Amino acid sequence: MDKKAVVITGGNGLLGKKLAMHLCKANFMVIVIDINEKSKELPDEVEYVKFDLTNIDKYDSLVAQVKSITNNLFGLVNNAAYNPKIESEQGFGNFENLDLAEWNKEITLNLSAPVFLIKAFLPVFNRENNRYCKIVNVVSTYAIVPPNQSIYKNLSEKTGIQILKPAAYPITKAGLHMLTKYLATYPGCKGINVNSIAPGGIENNQDQVFIDSYSQHVPMGRMASVDEMLASFELLLSDGSNYIQGQVITVDGGWTTW
């Protein structure tokens, strides 16, 4: 009960799992929220809540479950997001063919859910003894710069299918970072550090044609490994970030410098 508790949404995904493991080793109490069953890769000590974050009208129930686990909630990492994989045709294509259902799906999970989740958890944070609590929003380099559609050109030629990054993902991530800035200056968030992390492209068994194309646009000449993201999260969840407010830490190998 003395451990600081951190909620991670989307904790079954590539980044979420690694972050949960890392924070457990750093002596945090980790509570994962995910729509799927608990991954076997997650440590036994991770508390797990299966919940569909698009059911925003049921957040009172979600908060009650978290409160039944801990009265020492200290941090929230908004990591869950819908981001179609390039290996799938679904969700990739021309702006002219934008589908309203797909658009609404991303808006709900990527933007509306973090907004209302923070609202629901604000009264639950343990701000006793004037300690700082932490909110970390996982955005993207696409919250800072638009997608470079040329990185998909070679893969499009290989597959014979035109691949273009759709509009909803970067727009929702840019909105999420503006939420970070808004809350950082909001009186009701006094005593809470609110910041963003913008990961660059993480290598995860993509087609080598795409990996090579992406890497050519990175000053460091490669994609990231998921492990290279973790220290930045630990910083923003530690006392070392007590004077960091409303900022985005970009972990992208220099992608956004060009």
**Which tens digits make up the pLDDT trace of 124-165?**
999 988 889 999 999 999 999 999 999 999 999 998 888 999
Work out the pLDDT band at 27, boundaries 50, 70, 90.
very high
Cβ atoms 80, 7 nearer than 8 A: no
Cα-based distances in Å from 12 to 39, 54, 80, 252: 6, 16, 9, 22
Q: What residue ranges in 73-222 does DSSP mark as E strands?
A: 73-78, 133-138, 192-199
3-state secondary structure (DSSP) of residue 212 = helix
Work out the pLDDT band at 65, boundaries 50, 70, 90.
very high
What structural domains does the chain harbor? 5-84+98-145+169-201+224-257 (3.40.50.720)
User: pLDDT digits over 173-196, tens only?
Assistant: 999 999 999 999 999 999 999 999
Predicted structure pTM score: 0.96
Percent of the chain with pLDDT over 70: 97
